[in-house]
Structures are given as C-alpha cells and as structure tokens.
C-alpha cells in the first residue's frame, strides 16, 4: 500500500537556526497537505499543495511540492520556540476517488531558546 515517509524523525535546533523536513511518497500524489501538532495537542492544517513544482510561503515557512509529485518539503527560516511540535505531511493518492489522506511518519522539532 501507499507509504509516506518523513525525515528526519527528530530535529533539535537552537532558536534562530533553520529547519527542513522532507516527505517522500511511494506513489504519485494528487496533492499534499501539511499539518502541525503541538505537544499534547491535535494536528492543525497548515497548507495544501496541488501543482507539480508548486512553492508556497507562510511567513517563515516555505513549502514545496516536487516535480514528480512524489515528494515535498517544509522549510522554516529562523526557528522560534513557538515552532516546537511535530510536522506531518499527508498525501492523497493520484487518481484516488476518495478523501483519504495518508499521513507521513512526522518530524518532531525541538527548539532550544
């Protein structure tokens, strides 16, 4: 079945450093979504990418969707303590006539002040 892997599993940075998490799918995706889960909280939607090669920015966050629509990345510039949490990508299978999302394994970000 479809699998979505993320690397790294865990990253510890000093406040102000940059951070990147990578997401790779075993199958081509129709679109990809990113979610953030704070410790003890629930996943919260960040963004959706649909087009091949698409790049979107939200303040210090930059999201990319690969040309082959099988991978994606999230880059945070100058991390802050409020960025702490687990970041998940979630992909929808290309051609799938369903609303089903497959969540990635997640990357836990720790930010030291």
Partner 1 sequence: DAGVIQSPRHEVTEMGQEVTLRCKPISGHNSLFWYRQTMMRGLELLIYFNNNVPIDDSGMPEDRFSAKMPNASFSTLKIQPSEPRDSAVYFCASSLSVNEQFFGPGTRLTVL
Q: Would you tell me which residues interact with partner 1 (CB under 8 A)?
A: 31, 33, 41-45, 48, 88, 90, 92, 98-103, 105-106
Rounded least distance, CB 53 to partner 1, Å: 20
Q: How far is CA 5 from CA 14, 17, 39, 57, 113, in A?
A: 25, 24, 21, 22, 29
Q: How far is CA 14 from CA 79, 80, 85, in A?
A: 8, 9, 14
Identity of the residue, 14 or 98, whose beta carbon is nearer to partner 1 in the bound complex? 98
Q: Which has the closest alpha carbon to 90: 11, 25, 1, 19?
A: 25
Rounded least distance, CB 76 to partner 1, Å: 20
Identity of the residue, 82 or 98, whose beta carbon is nearer to partner 1 in the bound complex? 98
Rounded least distance, CB 23 to partner 1, Å: 13
Which residue has tokens 């990809």? 32
Q: How far is CA 54 from CA 8, 39, 63, in A?
A: 22, 29, 8
Identity of the residue, 43 or 66, whose beta carbon is nearer to partner 1 in the bound complex? 43
Identity of the residue, 70 or 92, whose beta carbon is nearer to partner 1 in the bound complex? 92
Structure tokens at 68: 């082959």
Rounded least distance, CB 113 to partner 1, Å: 26
């Amino acid at each position: 079945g479809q699998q979505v892997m993320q690397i790294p599993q865990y990253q510890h940075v000093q406040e102000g450093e940059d951070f990147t998490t990578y997401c790779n799918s075993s199958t081509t995706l129709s679109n990809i979504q990113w979610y953030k889960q704070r410790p003890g909280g629930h996943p919260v939607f960040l963004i959706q990418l649909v087009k091949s090669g698409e790049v979107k920015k939200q303040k210090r966050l930059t999201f990319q969707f690969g040309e082959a629509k099988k991978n994606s990345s999230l880059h945070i510039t100058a991390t802050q303590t409020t960025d702490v949490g687990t970041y998940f990508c979630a992909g929808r299978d290309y051609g799938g006539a369903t609303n089903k999302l497959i969540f990635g394994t997640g990357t836990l970000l720790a930010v030291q002040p």
